[in-house]
């Protein structure tokens, strides 16, 4: 699946859009630098370009990853190849981990390719290397969490289109749920803020890698893989 024209086409589209945004941000940064210089002030390339670039990258992943993960297992069922896979010596756990590790390799390739862009800034500017590394780790964790949840949804249905729509809705909910934190009490608000994926990602965009954020992403990944395995076990029992 990850060598299919769809997967690599999505990667090409993602890289093209991000490259375009990067060039646009650089042009805006150069214009702003001259303006700030006239006022005797300096403008951080890390703040204006790198953080903005990775913030937008996560949004694009939210849009594209449902299209990548929708076929992981749902397509096996749609094409009637699932019975053969279910009858193989592979356990549901091995099937889930195999699908997920393949997805992680695809995501690692995409994020590495995107990561080359901010490193070019070191040729003529002084970006904060720590922030770049934190942003790269953050976007990989976001993509890993998105992928695990997409895999779980794909395991729950036989229709890839349904899987894509439900995955997008779930990811969008996790992204914006933090907006509700101020409308509820302190205790519930803190719980909602912990549930909000975007809040944990924002910390990494600022160069802060907190244990609580790492634990959050590991919990989301673990939950997604557990749910995917549960559905595959149920399919095998019914089959």
Query: CA of 234: how far to CAs of 7, 107, 137, 226, 238, in Å?
Result: 28, 28, 34, 12, 6
User: pLDDT > 70: what percent of the chain?
Assistant: 92
Provide the whole-model pTM. 0.90
184-226 pLDDT, tens per residue?
Answer: 666 777 778 888 899 999 999 999 999 999 999 999 999 999 9
Q: How many CB atoms lie under 10 A from the CB of residue 219?
A: 12
pLDDT given at position 1 = 46
List the one residue out of 136, 143, 145, 139 whose CA is nearest residue 217.
145
DSSP conformational letter for 71: T
Instruction: Please name the residues in contact with 239: beta carbons below 8 A apart, sequence gap of 6 or more.
Output: 82, 83, 86, 87
pLDDT digits (tens, 9 = 90+) for 116-158: 888 888 777 788 889 999 999 999 999 999 999 999 999 999 8
Q: pLDDT at position 230, please?
A: 93
């Amino acid at each position: 699946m990850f060598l299919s024209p769809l997967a690599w086409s999505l990667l090409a589209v993602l890289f093209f859009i991000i490259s375009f945004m990067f060039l646009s941000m650089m042009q805006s940064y150069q214009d702003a630098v001259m303006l700030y210089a006239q006022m005797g002030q300096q403008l951080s390339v890390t703040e204006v370009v790198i953080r903005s670039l990775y913030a937008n990258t996560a949004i694009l992943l939210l849009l594209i990853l449902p299209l990548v993960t929708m076929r992981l297992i749902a397509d096996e069922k749609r094409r009637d190849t699932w019975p053969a896979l279910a009858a193989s010596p592979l356990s549901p756990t091995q099937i889930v981990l195999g699908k997920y590790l393949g997805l992680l390799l695809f995501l690692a390739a995409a994020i590495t390719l995107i990561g080359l862009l901010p490193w070019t800034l070191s040729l003529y500017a002084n970006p904060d290397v720590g922030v770049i590394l934190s942003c790269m780790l953050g976007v990989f964790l976001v993509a890993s969490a998105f992928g695990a949840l997409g895999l779980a949804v794909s395991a729950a249905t036989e229709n890839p289109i349904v899987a894509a729509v439900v995955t997008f809705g779930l990811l969008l909910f996790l992204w914006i749920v933090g907006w509700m934190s101020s409308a509820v009490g302190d205790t519930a608000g803190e719980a909602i803020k912990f549930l909000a994926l975007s809040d944990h990602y924002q910390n990494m965009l600022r160069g802060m890698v907190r244990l609580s954020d790492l634990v959050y992403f590991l919990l989301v990944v673990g939950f997604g893989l557990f749910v995917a395995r549960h559905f595959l076990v149920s399919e095998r029992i019914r089959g």
